[in-house]
Structure 1
Amino acid sequence: MNDQLKHKKATYHLYTFLVSKIIGSLGSHVYAFGISMYILSLTGSSLSFATNILLSYLPRIIISPFAGLLSDRFPRKWLVLGGQAGVILSVSILLIYTYTFELSLIAIYCVTIFNSIFSTFSSVAFTSSIANLVNEERLQKAMSFNQLSMSISGIGGPIVGGMLFGFVSMEIFLLTFIIAAIVTLTLESTMNFKLYQKETSTPATNSTEKESMLESLKAGFTYVKDKRVIRSILWTALWLNLFFTSVNIGFGFILLTILKLDPRLIGITEAGGAIGILITSIYFASRSNVKYPLVVVKRSTLMTSFLVISLAFPLFFDFSSTVNFIYYFIVMVLFGGFGVITNTPIGVMLQVSIDEEYRGRVFGIVEMMAMSMMPVGTLLFGVLYDVLPAQWILIVSGCILIGIVFTLLRPSVLKMAHPELEEKTLEPVLEK
């Protein structure tokens, strides 16, 4: 295939990727909103609601490394499409069950588990294929489009779900999700997942067929262990996700229970995060690749850590509801923006720096480590907010986050990632 044809195909991939992600994510958000509201209205129990969330986390944590292993052994396109088809099948069975009998909590839990398993295979295989779908110069745009689709669906999903809930049956929620998933599957089936795949002839590649599953999985962990920069990124992600959970758990609690903010204003405030993601994603999509991604990541995570501390500020004063609303809305916009500034460059860096034959396994490990602390953090901070003042939880969490960033992303790691970087300056963060 000549370069001009490849360029056209990559452009097609880029915008097909954006459309499919928006449709798929929007359908998922509408479905998640409907299921969440149904569980709460059926049981009135936050424990039942939390159980459903936990059942969506645990399979991803357990399955991710194996999904990555299969992504390195089998055609990734078929894993993406197979995972998507599995999700469609499981929700279709739930729809048939609902028509035949009646939607029940046990049925929802079962489908949540299967959805989590199937979507893990699909998402890990797709993530490890992005560098094969577009050329290196467009990787940042592709990663930005991924963040953009999440922000659009994050804003639109709850709005559409809120409009539908109470006016239509749960069958409509399920059908909406199925239609969106089918459209996503159809679009993804038209992509060439080997467009920019590099031919490799390394010993690891040639021996993959002869390795047992366990040996191949172990090779993935050994690869990560031997790559100091990637190892530092993974450990940073692990600990950051644990302490950033203090915001996920405490934000609504603080605004509703402590500051007595109007629930409608809380909804708008939370949407600020999606707005920040949207604005920053558009900015990154219009730029060429960041030259020193790990420097950008260090600075953006430091700023996000200070934002965690800043959430405690209104709790020391007696501000009006209007001031609290404006303050927290601005903070959430900044949270969303810095999240994109962190995730986009690091995503590009991983796509470029990981060898083709290990990419699936590494991204499986990345997903496992990124999510493994979320259940622990949810339980930990759920207990802490009941027994300790919220402001001190946020301040301590923010300070620990700052310490984690300075420890795991120290200058020696940055120098290793970017050997051409002058150790004195570390200045040119957003240069091409």
Structure 2
Amino acid sequence: MSTLDPSLFKQRNFVHFWIGQIASSFGFQMLSVGIGWQVYDLTDSALALGLVGLFQFLPHLLLTLVVGHVADRYNRRIICFCTRLTMALTVSVLAFGNLTDTISVNMIYTCAVMLGIARAFEMPASQAILPNLVSAKDLSKAVSAIASAREISVIVGPALGGLIYLLGASTLYFTSTACFIVSCAIMALLKYDYIAKEKAPINLTHLLGGLRFIKHNKIIFGAVSMDMFAVLLGGATALLPIVAKDILHTGPWGLGLLRCAPAVGALLMSIYLARSPLQHSVGKIMYAAVALFGVSTIIFGLSEHLWLSLIALFVLGATDMISVVIRSTLVQLETPDDMRGRVSAANSIFIGSSNQLGEFESGVTAALFGTVPAIVIGGIGTIGIVGIWMYLFPSLLKRSSLEVEPKEP
């Protein structure tokens, strides 16, 4: 923690929340490795692997309006506690299924749906609670610190999960369960001054409040939509196995390096931003970061050398993290507390949709034009989005700081 802003880690509430996020994220990252490997082992089907992701994403999509309302209406700490307890119980079912040799792909699919439901409620609550734990001036540093924890889990979690899986699937699932239980215990200790909200009538207007707020706030809408289209067009994650095998002529170890490179870049950038938060010209910096994301994508697409591809992916991850921190901080700053749950839920759909559709878009364009043209076209498209968004959202371009700014008349 010494590499991050020490003042944050003198705040007990934030420390508890930060550790809880790490434990939960580690549990999920290890779990993803176990489920993916076991589903493929049981079915020998790539489609079955895709269905696991679909079964986790669909509840998130279908429950968007409900989960945002719940995060705004009820105690966010209790929501996080209950969702992580649900995840612990769900993963324990997989563990006992392996112990009793009753595990099946249908059982895994059912558990994937339950995990999707739990994460759908957890994400807006955990995002919306952060501004209640730190001051506005510390918010961007806190967002960066949380992002650092997430990237550490993305880098270390799958590798650790793979090693634990060698001891048996049930061992991995019990380890993941333990991580979720630790996160539950930490959330129970969190000191969160919950103020009961006035019970506004539940109607479609109220439930759609998050989407309507984003649509009418040019700063948030510009940041969220630009990030969505950048990832939709420029994301090349789905094509990494093809790049590793057919273009770079490397093995699984090379694919592992390619998958880690963006996370390493994102981690180092998040640590830097936690220690040295952006203070000036944040709008211009965000546009520049997304443009560089596009340039890095093009270089990656054209590269025929592993070292150059790793550098391009490293820069891609670092620039994406700049965009993530700016976007996340602006969303939290610009949103009233009684709407943060609904806005966070709507924002998470933008993010989730871009990742899922981005993989689909990459696959379709690769099938039509080839892998290299698909990646390069995506990078060029991202740069084009930056130019269009600079014209459509000048208020985002003019945004000066990651602090509350007076509203324009």
* Counterpart amino acid of residue 143 in structure 1: V
User: What residue number does 1:311 align with?
Assistant: 300
Q: Choose which of 197, 214, 219 in structure 2 pairs with 1:224.
A: 214
> Matched residues, percent identical?
21
- Alpha carbons of structure 1 residues 355 and 230: separation in structure 2 relative to 1, 3 Å: same
Deviation at 1:114? 0.7
1:412 aligned partner: 394
Shift of residue 233, structure 1, vs aligned partner: 2.2
Does the C-alpha gap of structure 1 residues 94 and 137 become closer, same or farther in structure 2, counting only changes over 3 Å? same
Q: Secondary structure of 2:276's partner? A: coil
Residue 81 of structure 2 aligns to a residue whose secondary structure is helix
Correspondence list, 1:334-373, <5 A: 334-373=315-354
**1:385 to 1:288, Cα distance in 2 relative to 1, 3 A:** closer
Verify the 8 A CA contact 2:68 2:344 in the aligned structure 1. Answer: yes
> In angstroms, what is the RMSD of aligned CA positions?
2.4
**Among residues 185, 201, 209, which one is paired with 1:211 in the alignment?**
201
Tell me the equivalent position of 1:254. 243
Instruction: State the AA in 1 paired with 2:293.
Output: T
The amino acid across from 1:186 in the alignment is: A
Structure 1 position 244, deviation (Å)? 2.8
CA distance 1:285–1:373, change in 2 (3 Å): closer
Deviation at 1:241, TM superposition (A): 2.8
- Counterpart residue number, 1:75: 75
Compute the displacement of 1:398 (Å): 1.2
| C-alpha contact (below 8 Å) 1:80/1:125 kept by paired residues | yes
Who is 1:169 aligned against? Answer: 168
Aligned to 2:374: 393
Aligned residues: 395
Give TM-score, length-normalised by structure 1.
0.85
Shift of 1:415: 5.3
1:329 aligns with 2:318: no
C-alpha distance in 2 between matches for 1:15 and 1:9: 6
Task: State whether structure 2 residue 94 is matched by structure 1 residue 94.
Answer: yes
Bigger Cα displacement from structure 2, 302-311 vs 219-228: 219-228
> After the TM superposition, which residues 22-37 of structure 1 pair with which residues of structure 2 at under 5 Å, given as runs?
22-37=22-37
2:291 maps to which of 302, 317, 321: 302
Show the counterpart of 1:145: 145
Cα distance in 2 between the residues matched to 1:73 and 1:213: 13
- Conserved? CA contact 1:294–1:417, under 8 Å: yes
Which residue number in structure 1 is paired with residue 272 of structure 2?
283
Query: Do the aligned partners of residues 254 and 288 (structure 1) sit closer, same or farther apart at CA in structure 2, a change above 3 Å counting?
Result: closer
Equivalence for 2:233: 243
Structure 2 residue matching 1:168: 3-state secondary structure: coil
Q: Is the 8 A contact 1:67 1:364 kept in 2?
A: yes
2:407 corresponds to: none
| TM-score, normalization by structure 2 | 0.89
Structure 1, unaligned runs of 5 or more: 1-6, 200-204, 316-323, 421-432
Partner of 1:272: 261
Tell me the residue number matched to 1:193.
Answer: 192
* Deviations 1:200-247, CA, capped at 9 Å, x for gaps: xxxxx75xx2422423113333322221222222322332232133x1
- Tell me which amino acid in the other structure corresponds to 1:77: R
Q: State which drifts further: 104-113 or 91-100.
A: 91-100
1:185-211 deviation line (CA, Å, top 9, x unaligned): 11122222338x8x9xxxxx75xx242
Deviation of residue 348 (structure 1)? 1.5
- 2:112 aligned with 1:122, yes or no? no
Q: Partner amino acid for 2:97?
A: Y
Match of 1:290, SS state, is: coil
How has the CA–CA distance of structure 1 residues 370 and 130 changed in structure 2, closer, same or farther, with 3 Å as cutoff? same
The answer (yes or no) to whether the contact 1:97–1:103 under 8 Å persists in 2 is yes
C-alpha deviation, 1:280, in angstroms: 1.2
C-alpha separation in 2, matches of 1:288 and 1:387: 42
Letter in 2 for 1:389: G
The one-letter amino acid of 1:149's match is: A
What letter matches 2:41 in structure 1?
S
| Alpha-carbon distance change, 193 to 46 in structure 1, aligned in 2, over 3 angstroms | same
Rounded Cα–Cα distance in structure 1 between residues aligned with 2:315 and 2:9: 35
Amino acid at match of 1:25: S
1:212 partner SS = coil
| CA–CA separation in structure 2 for the residues paired with 1:284 and 1:249 | 28
Q: Is the 8 A contact 1:20 1:188 kept in 2?
A: yes
Instruction: Give the superposition deviation at 1:10.
Output: 7.0
Q: CA deviation at 1:93?
A: 2.7
Unmatched 5+ stretches in structure 2: 1-6, 403-409
Mapping 1:3-82, distance limit 5 Å:
11-82=11-82
Larger Rg: 1
